[in-house]
Amino acid sequence: MRDAGEMAEELLGWYDRHARVLPWRVNPAQRAAGILPDPYAVWLSEIMLQQTTVAAVRDYFTRFMALWPDVAALAAADDARVMGEWAGLGYYARARNLLKCARVVAGELGGVFPDSAEGLRALPGIGPYTAGAIAAIAFDRPEPVVDGNVERVMARLFRIETPLPRAKPEMRDKAAAMTPATRPGDYAQAVMDLGATICTPKSPACGICPWREPCQARAAGIAADLPAREAKKPKPVRLGIAYVGRREDGAWLLETRPESGLLGGMLGWPGGVWGDTAEDLPPVAANWRDPGEEVRHTFTHFHLRLALRVADLPADCRPVRGSFVPRLRPTDLPTVMRKAYDLARLSFGAAE
């Protein structure tokens, strides 16, 4: 096996030719000229990219940067507006922590992001991966950056057959040993690009991989089978009900969900806790009708079957729960609530 420094060189050479062009990125030539990316943009992109694909993030990132071009602007933003803009991207605790973090940086750190992994790690929403990534990418610090891509690449390169998550420490050690002292920002992005474009989860393109020769899994013909994972638990089914009410003037009856927990801080239709039964009292007395079709939605850890009730509400109605949103932007709803909205709207259309 060749040494780590030599392999890093080969990967960086590949990256110089094949680096993906992304809106939050500085390309290798710019970086070579001493240009570093805006830490705010790097931070925003890294939070959005947690457990989320580049394709899903791209438009959200562009929109956030246009609305809130710097950390001071974001810190001053209205919470509900930010949550609405995040709607659809998932893992909403990220958006809540995004605001907390922006306010700490803008309010206590003079608007300047810490330039060390340790300093970054102390901020809300920034864990070990994100701290290393921002330190490496925005400040060219030689920090190990270990995400799912890197774990997959290391599992294959070193033929680590221990299943995840048990193998995490071993993969982290291998990744740290491979991290070069030179061009750390480019290297961090290079390994992730390799994982995203060549060393992909299914049918990796080993034939054109810059690390094809030292790769032990490829030599053994088992690259596509790694990394191994522990068996997953089956997802239970939960039931729920959603009351989609529309007032005469077009306002919709919604409530803001509690800050913590599932869909925390997001808009949602009134309806009880999701569980073994779908029963809940309506938020206001009305002629609630059953559109006959339910919403099916799968979260990380359960399947949801959401029954719907829809009603036209009079101008003077006084709901016991929720409040009327005059000009609802459906895009402000998390996806499961958006599905309920779409179905309910069909039902209103049919009634008109």
Instruction: Single out the segment in contact with DNA by CB under 7 A; choices: 89-97, 108-116, 278-286, 311-319.
Output: 89-97
Q: 255: part of which helix (H) or strand (E)?
A: strand 252-256
Cβ closest to DNA, residue 179 vs residue 189 = 189
Is 51 near DNA (CB under 7 A)?
Answer: yes
CA 341 vs CA 32, 86, 247, 333, 352: distances in Å: 50, 18, 14, 9, 16
Q: 13 near 210, Cβ under 8 Å?
A: yes
- Which amino acid, one-letter code, is at 9? E
Cβ closest to DNA, residue 192 vs residue 215 = 192
Minimum distance between the CB of residue 3 and DNA, rounded to whole angstroms? 26
Minimum distance between the CB of residue 72 and DNA, rounded to whole angstroms? 21
Q: Which of 4, 16, 36, 97 binds DNA (CB under 7 A)?
A: 97
d(CA 81, CA 103): 15
Q: 68: part of which helix (H) or strand (E)?
A: none
Q: How many CB atoms lie within 10 A of CB 189?
A: 24
Cβ closest to DNA, residue 45 vs residue 286 = 45
CA 183 vs CA 29, 78, 118, 145, 172: distances in Å: 12, 38, 20, 13, 19
Is 272 near DNA (CB under 7 A)?
Answer: no
Q: 347 near 290, Cβ under 8 Å?
A: no
Cβ closest to DNA, residue 20 vs residue 63 = 20
Is 126 near DNA (CB under 7 A)?
Answer: yes
Is 263 near DNA (CB under 7 A)?
Answer: yes
Q: 323: part of which helix (H) or strand (E)?
A: strand 323-325
Is 141 near DNA (CB under 7 A)?
Answer: no
The interface mask with DNA, positions 297-336, x = CB under 7 A, is: xxxxx--------------------------------xxx
Query: Footprint of DNA on residues 220-259 (CB under 7 A)?
Result: 229, 232-235
Query: Footprint of DNA on residues 3-32 (CB under 7 A)?
Result: 20, 22, 25
**Residues tagged active-site:** 46
Interior angle at CA 105, CA 82 and CA 44, nearest 5 = 50
Give me the residues that bind DNA (CB under 7 A), please: 20, 22, 25, 45-46, 49-56, 87-93, 97, 124-131, 133, 147-149, 152, 189, 192-193, 195-196, 201-202, 229, 232-235, 261-264, 297-301, 334-336
